[in-house]
Amino acid sequence: MISVLGAGAFGTAVAVSLARNGGSVQLWAHDPAHVEALRQARENVLRLPGVPLPDNVEPIERLDDVPPEAVILLAVPMQTLRHLLQDNAEHFLARTLVACCKGMDLKTHVGPVQTISDCVPTAMPAILTGPSFAADIAHGLPTALTLACRDERVGKALQQSLTTPNLRIYRTTDTIGAELGGALKNVIAIACGVVIGARLGDSARAALMTRGYAEMQRMALRLGAKPETLAGLSGFGDLALTCTSEGSRNFRFGLSLGQGEPFDTDVTVEGAATARAALARARELGIEMPITGAVTALLDGQVDVRQAMDMLLSRPLKDE
């Protein structure tokens, strides 16, 4: 049994993909009205329209209905993860909890794996991350993800249970690299969206991606990540996808900023909070992260797009 907590687009897509393996899958949402809509329509009309829920996907609204043996996937936004864990801690004791969100907590400046460990010390934390769009997964298109778990035995079991006909899962024990790669690339995606929205060109985007990758490595390696993790799916792979496709919410958000247009406030943009959290953490560690700083200043209205670009272009010349 697999229980997916969070019936947004990604949680629904993963539930649909896992159900194709033939086992029972639960899909939990905190809003009873949303759960009832899923039951009636057998489709997530709000977040993932046009994708039928297989018969073996059961929408639920009570965490009491999650059986003790179930693997739990936490497909909720990063900024709500801590509240979910703290408010329902009794349901998560000594469980295997797999985070499916990407970001850094705005208050604590840590990622989802550390958040799970902080809130539920008896749980076994893991993270499922990498270059993936919900629609691709839901429609059965081939997708490769990274499963990171410190316990190699648990990681191998999760790799087997979460692999589906269209989801290929690679495994690592480097949870730090996996969670930071997924979090920090969203900040760079916002910056790349701004560049394209402001018509600064593909050459500028390529430069931002390259120097943004250097920033990602700078923080992740300082915190104990392995360089090969950042060079893999959860780092470079996810960076390539989110910085080059309008399927990325973070890229679309940056695109709107660069064009000076409003953005749909109902759409979750994890990179905005992560930029602020990452910059605060970088200052604590004494790490230079100029692109993250420029994105944060832009988000906070301290600079406009041209000034943000000038901040980066006027930095002292240095070796690559």
Q: Looking at the annotation, which residues are catalytic?
A: 185
Q: State the DSSP H helix or E strand holding residue 58, giving kind and residue range, or none if neither.
A: strand 57-60
- Say which amino acid occupies 143: T
Average pLDDT rounded to a whole number, residues 199-213: 95
User: Is the pLDDT score of 317 beyond 70?
Assistant: no
Q: What is the CATH T-level fold of the domain 2-176, as seen in this structure?
A: Rossmann fold (3.40.50)
Domain positions in the chain: 2-176, 184-313
Q: Which of 112, 9, 98 is nearest to 17 (CA)?
A: 9
Cβ-Cβ contacts under 8 Å for 153 (sequence gap 6 or more): none
User: Is the pLDDT score of 316 beyond 80?
Assistant: no
pLDDT tens sequence across 208-233: 999 999 999 999 999 999 999 999 99
What pLDDT was estimated at residue 309?
A: 82
Q: Which of 112, 118, 109 is nearest to 281 (CA)?
A: 109
Q: Backbone phi, then psi, for 96, in 5-degree steps?
A: -90, 120
> What residue numbers does the annotated binding site cover?
6-11, 30, 102, 130, 132, 134, 185, 238, 248-250, 270
User: Is the pLDDT score of 70 beyond 90?
Assistant: yes
> What residue numbers does the annotated binding site for sn-glycerol 3-phosphate cover?
102, 130, 132, 185, 238, 248-250
Q: Residue 191 corresponds to which tokens in the numbers above?
A: 């910056």
**H-state helical runs in 25-77:** 32-41
d(CA 138, CA 16): 6
Average pLDDT rounded to a whole number, residues 24-44: 97
Identify the architecture of domain 184-313 in CATH. Answer: Orthogonal Bundle (1.10)
Edge to edge, what strands does the sheet with 57-60 contain? 57-60, 25-28, 2-5, 71-74, 96-99, 124-129, 143-149, 167-172
Under the banding of pLDDT at 50, 70 and 90, the label for residue 147 is very high
User: Is the pLDDT score of 315 beyond 80?
Assistant: no
Cβ-Cβ contacts under 8 Å for 314 (sequence gap 6 or more): none
pTM summary value: 0.95
- Say which amino acid occupies 288: E
Under the banding of pLDDT at 50, 70 and 90, the label for residue 27 is very high
Average pLDDT rounded to a whole number, residues 282-293: 96
What pLDDT was estimated at residue 313?
A: 73
279, 302 contact by CB (below 8 A): no
Q: 94-98, 206-210, 272-276, 307-311: which range is least confident on average?
A: 307-311
What pLDDT was estimated at residue 310?
A: 82
